[in-house]
Amino acid sequence: MQTKLIQHIYNRAGFGLSPDEWNARKQWSIDQAIDDLFSKAENATKLPDAEAITAVGNSMMSGEERAERRRAEARRVFQLGTDWTMRMGDPDAPALLERITLFWHGHFACESKLSVIATKQLQTLRQYGLGHFRDLLIGISKDPAMIRYLNNQQNKKDSPNENFARELMELFTIGRGHYTENDVKEAARAFTGWSSNLRGEFVFRRRIHDYGPKEFMGRQGNFDGTDIIDILLERRETAYFLTKKIYRYFVSDIPNEGRIRTLATEFYRSDYHIGQLLRRIFRSDWFYDSEIIGQKIKSPVELIAGLVRQLGLTGLDFRAVFGLQKALGQQLFKPPNVAGWPGGKQWIDNATLLLRLNIATAIFRGAELDFNLRPDLEQSQGRNLRGLQAQMVLAPIARILEDIPSESVYEELSQYLLSSPAPPPESYLIDLSLSREQIISRSCLQLMSLPEYQMC
């Protein structure tokens, strides 16, 4: 039973357990698991900067050259998203840190077309993701990718652009119903001049900043952006809004008001310390209730990362990873809009479900996926996601089955791969004339083709 709890926390706080991790940790206590997750996150190294590239396109270039530059740059961003996905699946990487970074990428949903600024944003989310929310929020407000995405470049004293100020309140902090249109206007004035340069660095442009007095949420002063952020953080509604979102992401799609209120109060008192909030959640008894465990649908990126971790996948081409993300509806650095991925049941329609269930066959048997990817709006030709030529290793999985008789392999594997009960094995899987290797491989394939495998 303890094993299922350890599996649960690694499913939710990370991307599951590799076979070796499972072997080493299944007897651990929950506190040991929490300490492991947090200490790895605290000791994580910073991601390397992206190789600086010259600005994409300039007036000296022909249209074709510019288009080629754009395509090359798009490939770099896909590669960045693929590297990140592989990191999520890597047992040596800090799983909790990658997980919270993925959460913040959905919260501060932002499309980046330039690899330099996409990398910077990822660094910012990782640097502050488990610390105080204020640092994270200021970091993201000064983040070149976000500044571009929400048009704060165009937010000038003489012609304010309200896009960033609006989303700051509606989506990033306090939520609808707790601010007025006038608050949006005044906040936009406070963020005038928060801009970025061609090297992808934050720049404060004095000459277009509005230094005049402002009235925001009933207060008056010569506010700048940081003041606006502090006023928003003083409001308890902000703590509640964020806690609810974190609860829904890490715990359950069905919010529990009582728990959220208690957590939000503590979050507020801790000066919005994200790591403390998560520790508190992972230590709660209710986090391990049967109506919580195995009840969330894995997001596409979580699904891919889990496959990588469990099967030790290597050699996945970025086109395959990116194609899969696109077909399943979660492209890193390209959220559907600033509201992020809605998640939950919204991941599932007839097409995405069938594709999810057919992935294991594509990996184990090299079967064709044959899925036509829709072209982007500015393109005229789509691509076909043919298959997933990846190398996997089953030896580590065989190691978790060392003392298990062949007739129990399926059952034991279902404990490792699923978080809810599996249907009985197909008769051919208990055919003892198969080699042990065949039984393991076929059982894995069978279990990974089940809807239960989509849950965590």
CB of 328 to other proteins, least distance (A): 9
Q: What share of the chain is helix, strand, coil (3-state, %, to 5)?
A: 55, 5, 35
CB of 367 to other proteins, least distance (A): 8
Smaller CB separation from other proteins, 54 or 350: 350
CB of 198 to other proteins, least distance (A): 21
Q: Are the C-beta atoms of residues 447 and 453 closer than 8 Å to each other?
A: yes
Smaller CB separation from other proteins, 412 or 452: 452
CB of 270 to other proteins, least distance (A): 30
CB of 51 to other proteins, least distance (A): 27
CA distance 447 to 456: 14
Place of tokens 């840190």: 97
Count Cβ atoms below 10 Å from residue 349 Cβ, excluding itself.
Answer: 10
Q: Are the C-beta atoms of residues 214 and 202 closer than 8 Å to each other?
A: no
Smaller CB separation from other proteins, 47 or 394: 394
CB of 411 to other proteins, least distance (A): 15
CA distance 340 to 352: 18
Smaller CB separation from other proteins, 40 or 113: 113
Closest by Cα among 397, 217, 183, 185 to 309: 397
Q: Are the C-beta atoms of residues 97 and 129 closer than 8 Å to each other?
A: yes
Smaller CB separation from other proteins, 184 or 263: 184
CB of 353 to other proteins, least distance (A): 5
Q: How many CA atoms lie within 13 A of 116 on its CB side?
A: 15
How many helices and strands (H and E) does the chain possess? Answer: 20, 6
Smaller CB separation from other proteins, 263 or 328: 328
CB of 221 to other proteins, least distance (A): 27
CB of 78 to other proteins, least distance (A): 16
Residues of the shown chain interacting with other proteins in the complex, contacts defined by CB under 8 A: 63, 111, 166, 171, 253, 294-297, 327, 329, 336-339, 342, 345-346, 348-355, 357-358, 360-361, 370-382, 420-421, 423, 445-446, 449-452, 454-455
CB of 390 to other proteins, least distance (A): 18
Task: Compute φ and ψ for 297, nearest 5 degrees.
Answer: -85, 125
Smaller CB separation from other proteins, 24 or 254: 254
Smaller CB separation from other proteins, 25 or 66: 66
Q: Are the C-beta atoms of residues 112 and 145 closer than 8 Å to each other?
A: yes
Smaller CB separation from other proteins, 255 or 375: 375
Smaller CB separation from other proteins, 270 or 295: 295
CB of 316 to other proteins, least distance (A): 21
Smaller CB separation from other proteins, 209 or 296: 296
Residues 6+ apart with CB under 8 A from 38: 96, 130, 275, 279
DSSP, residue by residue, 107-123: HT------HHHHHHHHH
Long-range own/partner contacts, residues 131-135 (CB < 8 A, 24 or more apart): 131/273, 131/274, 131/275, 132/271, 132/272, 132/273, 132/274, 133/233, 133/242, 133/272, 133/273, 133/274, 134/229, 134/230, 134/233, 134/271, 134/272
- The Cα-based distances of 360 to 5, 74, 385, 402, 443 in angstroms read 25, 28, 15, 23, 11
CA distance 185 to 160: 8
Closest by Cα among 339, 347, 352 to 385: 352
CB of 164 to other proteins, least distance (A): 13
Closest by Cα among 363, 364, 368 to 385: 368
Smaller CB separation from other proteins, 308 or 355: 355
Query: Which residue(s) pair with 314 in the sheet?
Result: 391
- End-to-end C-alpha distance for the chain, whole angstroms: 16
